[in-house]
Structure formats: C-alpha cells, structure tokens
C-alpha cells in the first residue's frame, strides 16, 4: 500500500510540474497579448483624438464658409439691384439683346463650375471657350451702355460690387477646400481607428482564451498539489501505525521473556543481573 501511494505521489509530482510549466507558458502568451491589446488601444485613442481635431478644424472652416457666403450673397444682392436699374435704362433706350446682368450671372456660374467641378480636358476647354465668348458679349454690352453717362456710372458701380463679391467668393472657396481636406482626413483617420480597434478586439479575445486556459492549468496544478499533500498525510499515518505496532510487539515479547524468567525463578532457578534488567525493562517488576 505504501509503495502504491509513493508511486502515485511520484506521478502526481510529474503531472504537477507539467501543469505549472503549461500554466506559465499560457500566462506568458496572455501577457504578450495584453501588451499588444493595450498598445493598440492607445493607438486607437490617439487616432480618435486626431480625427476629432480634424473635425474641429473642418467645422471652423465650414463656419467661415457660411460667413463669407452671407457676405458674398449680400454683395451680390446689391449688384443685382444695380443691374436691375441698368436693365430698366436699357429697355427705356431700346438697347436689345441679353441683359448685361444675365450675361454676368452666366459668366459667374460657369467660372464657379470651372473652379469646383472635376472636368475632362475637352469639357474644360469647351467651358473656357464659352466663358471667353460671354466675356466678349459682356464687353460689347458694356460699351453699348457706356454711351449713356448714367449707365456708365451704374456699370462702374456694378463692376466694383461684383469684384467685392468675387473676392468674398474666392475666400469662401479657399475655406470650403480646407474644410473638405479636413473632412477627408477625419474620415480616413476614423476608418484607421476602426481598423486598429478591430485588431485590439481580436487581441483581447485571444488574451481571454489564453487566460482561461492558464486558469484551467492552474486549477489542475492546485488539485495535484492537494492530492500530494493528502498522500503525504496518509503515508505519515501509515508509518506511525507501523512503528506503534512494532513497538507493541516488542513489548509483548519482552513480557513473555519476563514471564519465562519469573516462572524459572519460582521453580528454583537463579536470577542473573541480565534477568533482573530484562524483568525491569518489561515492566514486570514495579
């Protein structure tokens, strides 16, 4: 029985070491994954902060777009009032053809399209030619109207107002371009943050799996250690019982020898010093 328990204890010690080694390996893997996850989480946070900064810049530029759009529209409305007076005088003086106001509006529309739309080479050439033709018409119409002093003054005023509106529009376009650039950067950065977050989530999932496996190995290690301690207790009990049994047998033998010596003495035999010591050791003599 003692041999079987010792064999079992040896086997458990081997298993216990294997459990501990495997647990430590899994914990090391989990630690590596935790570091990777934390690094990815920090990168995600930094990217989100960067994207938020782009958002703030985009919104600031969009506010400027709104501001200059109001200014441009206000100035354009003034110009429209002047062109309305010009059209009235033109009609009164039988100056036919498209109004200078309509020509100017069409030029502005086409120039805006040229600045903001993505055009093929042929399309842009066609647009430039049309703008050039309208500008010629505008110059001719202006020359027709400049013969009238009142019209000449109104045309000068209208041109000055239009120049102011163009300046506002140019500034508006600059802010709009910047706003679009910041918007594109914001979207790109948010997408990158989403990508990194997905990698972080995957690393965390792996971390949890390795941690759970490490916990399983640790439980097996603890169970094996407990079983070893239980076997040690059982062995100690068995060894103590064996020792006590041998001690009792020795006492019984000594008692038997003492009884034989005493019977021999009663029968007339002599007691030697060794016989007396044996009687004393056995407890026969008190």
For 14-30, what is each residue's pLDDT tens digit? Answer: 998 999 999 999 999 99
Q: Locate the domains of the chain by residue range.
A: 37-198
Distance, in Å, from the CA atom of 184 to the CA atom of 86, rounded to the nearest integer, reads 44
The mean pLDDT value for 107-126 works out to 83
The mean pLDDT value for 217-239 works out to 85
pLDDT given at position 127: 87
Residue of 41, 36, 25, 40 whose CA lies nearest to 211: 25
pLDDT tens for each residue of 36-55:
999 999 999 999 999 999 99
Distance, in Å, from the CA atom of 146 to the CA atom of 86, rounded to the nearest integer, reads 11
Helices 149-266 & 100-116, crossing angle to 10 degrees? 30
Distance, in Å, from the CA atom of 155 to the CA atom of 95, rounded to the nearest integer, reads 15
Percent of the chain with pLDDT over 70: 80
Query: Under the phi-then-psi rule, with left for phi > 0, alpha for psi from -120 to 50, and beta for the rest, what region is 157?
Result: alpha
The mean pLDDT value for 236-252 works out to 62
Cα dihedral 66, 68, 69, 71, rounded to 10, equals 130
pTM (2 decimals)?
0.57
- 175 in Cβ contact with 64 (< 8 Å): yes
């Amino acid at each position: 029985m003692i041999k079987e328990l010792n064999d079992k204890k040896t086997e458990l010690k081997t298993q216990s070491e294997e459990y501990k080694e495997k647990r430590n390996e899994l914990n090391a893997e989990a630690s590596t994954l935790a570091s990777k996850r934390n690094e990815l989480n920090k990168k995600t946070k930094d990217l989100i902060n960067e994207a938020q900064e782009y958002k703030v810049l985009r919104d600031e530029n969009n506010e400027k777009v709104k501001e200059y759009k109001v200014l441009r529209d206000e100035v354009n409305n003034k110009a429209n009032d002047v062109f309305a007076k010009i059209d009235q005088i033109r009609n009164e003086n039988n100056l036919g053809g498209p109004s200078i106001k309509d020509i100017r509006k069409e030029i502005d529309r086409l120039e805006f399209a040229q600045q903001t739309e993505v055009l093929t080479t042929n399309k842009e050439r066609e647009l430039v030619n049309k703008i050039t033709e309208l500008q010629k018409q505008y110059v001719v119409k202006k020359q027709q109207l400049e013969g009238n002093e009142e019209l000449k003054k109104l045309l000068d005023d209208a041109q000055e107002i239009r120049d102011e509106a163009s300046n506002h529009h140019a500034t508006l376009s600059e802010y709009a371009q910047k706003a679009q650039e910041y918007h594109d950067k914001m979207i790109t950065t948010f997408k990158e943050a989403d990508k990194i977050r997905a990698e972080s989530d995957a690393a965390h999932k792996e971390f949890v799996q390795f941690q759970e496996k490490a916990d399983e190995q640790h439980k097996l290690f603890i169970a094996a250690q407990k079983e070893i301690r239980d076997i040690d207790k059982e062995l100690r009990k068995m060894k103590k019982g064996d020792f006590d049994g041998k001690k009792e047998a020795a006492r019984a033998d000594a008692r038997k020898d003492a009884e034989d010596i005493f019977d021999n003495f009663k029968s007339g035999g002599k007691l030697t010093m060794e016989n007396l010591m044996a009687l004393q050791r056995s407890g026969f003599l008190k």
